[in-house]
Chain A
Amino acid sequence: MSLAWVNSVMPQLVMTVGLMVLLLVVAFRRSHALAMTLTVLILVVAGALIPQSIASGGEEVFGLIRLDGYGQFFNGLFLLAAIVTVLISFRYLEHRASNCEEFYMLILTATLGAMVMAAATHFATLILGLEILSISLYAMICYPQEGRLPLEAAAKYLVLSGVASTTMLFGMALIYAASGSLSFSALGQPIDSQGDNYYWVGQGMLIVGLAFKLSLVPFHMWTPDVYQGAPAPVTGFVATVSKGAVFAALLRYIVMSDVLSNASVALGISIIAVGSMVVGNLLALLEKNIKRILAFSSIAHVGYLLIALLVVAELDDPGIARETTMVYLAGYFLMTLAAFGVISALSISSNGEDNEQLADYQGLFWRHPILAAVLTTAALSLAGIPLTMGFIAKFYLFAAGVQGTLWILLWALVIGSAIGIYYYLRIVFTMTQSVATDGSMRAYVAPKETVVTAGVLGAALILFGVYPTPLIELVRGLITAFGA
């Protein structure tokens, strides 16, 4: 057996070793700046090793994980999101926690968990990655020592996420009982007709568990509270890395196990998709809290993305589904992180709560033009308006849906987007209005590194919105290099 697989898992190994190094460094010398720098360094090195890892073949390692272009693309995205989260957390944490260093270890473990999930081809690695990710997130959500909301959010997330994990585990057990395998590729069908019922009940429970993590309707109740309660940088991390990892794993599972060939599974997922698009957007209309708006918006966005998943059943080649998911999630990562970057930048000096009410953003265009421009870009991008990457992403979904002839879902996408425009526009409108002169507005000091990070994300949104070809070429290259 060759050692090529070591090369393949190099990014994950660097993360693991880096984690231990950080642990030791913090044990000997507590310095917030040092811990932050070291974390960024580890993430950058891991990211830099990804191309080499892709070049070394992308084979399946021990039948547990496969490090192909698809998985490594997501790993790159997770690392990028982690770097952004570290950069926007730095000043934010300084004002909220006395010991900030451990936070970075949690970011590293959470990212590692996500990286394992995106590559998982086996139930064992799937659940392992998911738990590493989730357990780190509980601690990250309630990391600030002051305030009741983070604690409430963490408790809610802990309980509900735990329920979802156990549901999934039970589902996996049933599938195993019926098919005799835990590997994605080997569990296409139950062994005999007796196992049939177990098998499909198991599949249902597995999908319900994943839908919980993706906060799809009707399993979305926890989302707004957790988004609101968690510190803004962590919310951004939950919205991107956690959802992205689960979705990447779900798509790989769907493609490899071919469960969508069962019409009722496809119908169930379609209903969940339409429900998420419509309910997510409608509930967002009622909110005045920007974090809660983004929570409902993320529900709708994952609902949209399910179109890419459902295309798998309609077309022989899962390439378009992969491509759409990769482009869409890349766009979704950038715009969500940009939005939470702005919220974090504006919430530095507001002790306790974040600046998260819409009213706090009144006149932002005149108080801080750069942050206002970034938030506008992010909002328009989330709404799917051209010039921004959100449009390219939505265009991809349309193109995939039309190819898969999923007309009903496309109508839901049109209706959902139409409703969505209203609340995204309300954010933009609030920012354009004059600043209240009665002194009721809270002051804020936006730290430079947060502003720069958000600015870079905003610029990337426009750049890829106007000229997406490099990204598309990259994604297509990664897919064609590895086949199905």
Chain B
Amino acid sequence: MSFILRRFLFYLVAILVAITMNFIMPRMMPGDPVDALFASAMGRMPLESLQAYKEMLGFVDGPLWVQYLQYLKSIVTWDLGPTIMLYPLPVTELMAAKVPWTLGLAGMSTVIAVSIGLIIGTYAAYHRGGLTDRFMPAFWAFVGAMPQPVTALFIFFTLALSLKWFPLSYGADPDLDPALSWEYISSVLHHAVLPLMCMILGGIGAWIFNMRNAMINVLGEDYITMAKAKGLSSRRIMTHYAARNAVLPVVTAVSMQIGFVLAGAVFIETVYNYPGLGLLLFTALGARDYPTMQACFLLIVVFVLVANFIADLLYLWLDPRLRK
């Protein structure tokens, strides 16, 4: 239990750091940030909302710690004020509509990339020096080093624009109403194929690399020799003896990967005009909508931390030694 509690406290501190950064950043901008905000809204924002913003961002009269507490309060009560680009729509409402799209992409792509990566990594390490071992890690390292906007653009150009196999934009056919019908769901899936593919291509390399390294370390252990001596089938040794133990350090690498995947969503959703959090962040950048940007950033941080926490729980489940 103490393990979970410790991790939980750690993530709480991390969230506090993120909130503090959000608090400091507008204060480091030259000039009065709220006035800059107001000027960048170019008259689309009535004066009375200015006061609301000041309160939300904690720009109330008083010393810095009063401002900080005010900002914390607006975060805790989930009152992030109205957006600038779509005034007076609240930021939280705007984000709520986008979150499912991004989470769907990130979740599915992680599951697929992890499965493929672990299988290839396991196989390559078990059959050292074989064809898979020689070419797969190198090939996927090469692919994984491509920046996400570049992969997204290349796939967009070939599969969507030239071959016309997949739609060019949106998360689903805009003529269809959201419903639980086969038509709508298949349209959603059809639209998700290319963004998913980009995210998966960017992620597989890291999983193969981590899994292969971990497997190679495990394969030198005595219990592997023992299992071979017992005459177990090679597949059983590979999956139940080696991979089962090698997967432990790989799970901890998930933290690096989830943040990377969610960041990739910004580029991939921008290229495919996919209605998720990443595209929202991109449009907010263009509109200089600082409240929306900060809220998106905070939400992405929270998602990453939650994913890390889930990885910790998974680790606990996989490694009984920690359950004390």
Same assembly: no
